[in-house]
Chains A and B, each alone.
Chain A
């Protein structure tokens, strides 16, 4: 028992939690943009997977992981665009479209992996984004062991949370975003272009999810492997709901899920089944949706296509 307690407060576990949370944070921020604009995005999983593959692929050919990051964001954004065209222009069912994208991305990445590398399962190893030491943080005791030395993407994720928070709550565009997902017709009557807002938001959503995927293939590991997102897109979506569609809330949820993940790896050693911890995000999401800790109410128009006139 003492072991477990010690482990729970171990700085190494905290540092690992942050790393596990990073891909979730990017994808969850993406989910927030999409949902806030009124488009349900369960395609986060597929977008992450596409991002993970593209990052590896571009890095493999250029040798420059940051170019890989860019490529992953573009690829994710492209998938976002496809999602938006179906959901906004053709008013397709958003859950069905999202599911289709997930299946499509799963198949496509496997196909491309075999086509280009002739391998099944995993890609060759590529250059990764190396960890860096932050001068200020690394001189503060205790904090330094968690935040002092990490991957740049980890820091970027934390910065992104702040940026997204500011965009959503402090800018005119963010105000419109919140309006469009809540009551699109009202936004329309004051001259806000609902369709444009939704297109942009879903594309951003895809780019961010793609960025989340990047972390998996060229930072956390140095290769792409089939289905390597392993449900993280859905966990990110759970974090969006658990965090009540706010960037800070989602950050908290991602950190929590990341922590559970990090702890789980340690607890395995002392015989606590993994499955238990893996269930956690979903169980908590159901708890949140059921309203045990203050009701989680999403943007009202989320999931509904907007029809003018």
Chain B
């Protein structure tokens, strides 16, 4: 055993925020140490300092008993520290093998030794059970596979201290399972792992110890066996957190969204959404569960007017909106929290205030006599920053400088305050901390209770189960089943999400229920 890493009193001051305030952190040999905390609590910063990307303003780092200075990633690599970043650091047009060896290439004379590069990657992928095609282009890989490449990159460099920054945020449940298996394999081979996550269940499932940060300060370190969900949530947020949403029964009203036989094809003509018919009423939440990539994104884009519809029709509040432009759809009473906030939800280089009026920037109070009304825009920003607890509360900062969770709050704040008739929330709490999840969930229910029709698309079963009034399962571009929440179990959802038919499930249930606990 023994400590492989000790960080003592690490301090990091950014222009406006004290991101790390005398943080102590240590890592035992062969352990998985979870690092948790709210959005913006300084987790990524702490680990970026260890990897040499940021320079600390105070404190010391001791690796394997030796005090070290790490000012460049190169030095971290030489100390056998590897990092898998929250936003992947992969070069898309290059192959898997090229990405893995980059910076530490295998040479034959002055040339790349392509054969040995490939065989080395194959050897590593065999040894750690990380299956991958070394010659595939990274751009063609799924997110889960890209993450494998990232892990292999670190292992190739001989890392025995491995940092993973929110590795599960972008993975499907199955991929998360696979990742945990990999982490356990690594651990059994003596790798020490820092695992950053927002999901307490994952902490409990995979870690040996867990440290909590809050607003740049270390709150405590616990042995995972001696803590629980509620305690961790409270340490993270600093108050009691409701892990379950409180909501009354739905009072469905008029039909707001109606899809009739909607079909969407991608640019190659493949059918992505196949003949989907659905309705969502005002005052209810319809959850769409499904493993990502089964057509949910395309369905949402079609409704939002971002993608052409190949067949069928879409009605919003009894108007046929098929083929309308995104702006026109929005004006007809539509709000969207998109799944990819960087691509669709925000302009990262714009200020928080401007991001809070995107899409409204041309309409009333924000435009006066054809010019921007700075006063109104600032007031609006101030109000939303307060109501939605966006941190740090500085309206003039570019959105880029905010942590992931706070960026998400900007989008949610903007879309929810429109009080749209139809609200689509696509993965609304991805990468968001427990406190913010609680808040966003409450807001979704509040919207529902004010009469909005809410369509929730989520890969998180918990989220679908706790928010929805009805649940639809999407598989392979089709809606498999729509059922009232009372008839849904986690087990049944999992079965349907993986392509099972409802009839089969019911048949299995009857015969198999005897041996369930």
Contact = CB atoms under 8 A, between A and B. Distances in A.
Interface of A: 166, 170-172, 174-176, 178-179, 182-183, 185-192, 300, 309
A55 B101 CA distance: 41
A171 to B, nearest CB: 6
B295 to A, nearest CB: 26
A56 B349 CA distance: 49
A175 to B, nearest CB: 6
A171 B94 CA distance: 14
B112 A190 contact: no
Given A171-B112, A179-B102, A189 B85 contact: yes
Nearest to B75: A191
B182 interface: no
Interface in B49-74: 51, 53-55, 72-74
Contacts of B53: 189, 309
Nearest to B105: A172
Contacts of B15: none
Contacts of A189: 51, 53, 73, 83, 85, 89
Nearest to B74: A191
Contacts of B89: 183, 185-186, 189-190
Contact of B94 (A166, A170, A178, A185): A178
Contacts of A186: 89-91
Nearest to B101: A175
The 4 closest A-B pairs by CB, nearest first: A190-B103, A191-B74, A186-B89, A172-B105
A137 B165 CA distance: 60
A309 B73 CA distance: 11
Interface of B: 51, 53-55, 72-74, 77, 83, 85, 89-94, 98, 101-105, 107, 110-112, 153, 157
A175 B72 CA distance: 21
Contact of A183 (B90, B104, B110): B90
A100 to B, nearest CB: 26
Given A190-B102, A192-B102, A170 B72 contact: no
A191 B98 contact: no
A309 B107 contact: no
A178 B74 contact: no
Nearest to A185: B89
B324 to A, nearest CB: 26
A171, A182, A191 pick with most chain B CB within 10 angstroms: A191
Contacts, number: 66
16 contacts: A175-B101, A176-B102, A178-B94, A183-B91, A185-B89, A186-B89, A187-B91, A187-B102, A187-B103, A188-B73, A189-B85, A190-B73, A190-B102, A190-B103, A191-B104, A309-B53
Contacts of B90: 183, 186
Given A186-B89, A189-B89, A190-B77, A175 B102 contact: yes
B103 A192 contact: yes
B73 A191 contact: yes
B112 A191 contact: no
A196 to B, nearest CB: 12
A182 B93 contact: yes
A189 B102 CA distance: 10
A179 B51 contact: no
A179 B111 CA distance: 17
A191 to B, nearest CB: 4
A187 B90 CA distance: 8
A179 B107 CA distance: 17
A309 B55 contact: yes
A192 B99 CA distance: 12
Contacts of A300: 92
B329 to A, nearest CB: 28
Nearest to A179: B91
A185 B87 CA distance: 11
Given A190-B77, A191-B74, 5 more contacts: A171-B110, A171-B111, A182-B91, A183-B91, A190-B157
B85 A175 contact: no
Given A179-B94, A189-B73, A309 B103 contact: no
A309 B72 CA distance: 10
Nearest to A300: B92
A174 B110 CA distance: 11
Contacts of B93: 178, 182
Nearest to A166: B111
B245 to A, nearest CB: 38
Contacts of A191: 72-74, 77, 103-104
A306 B106 CA distance: 27
A200 to B, nearest CB: 16
A3 B299 CA distance: 60
A266 B102 CA distance: 50
A188 B85 CA distance: 13
Given A189-B73, A190-B77, A172 B112 contact: yes
A188 B83 CA distance: 13
Given A172-B112, A182-B91, A183-B89, A190 B55 contact: no
A186 B93 CA distance: 13
Contacts of B54: 309
A15 B309 CA distance: 54
A154 to B, nearest CB: 27
Contacts of B91: 178-179, 182-183, 186-187
A309 B52 CA distance: 9
A175 B98 contact: yes
Contact of A172 (B51, B74, B83, B107): B107
Nearest to B154: A190
A140 to B, nearest CB: 31
B135 to A, nearest CB: 14
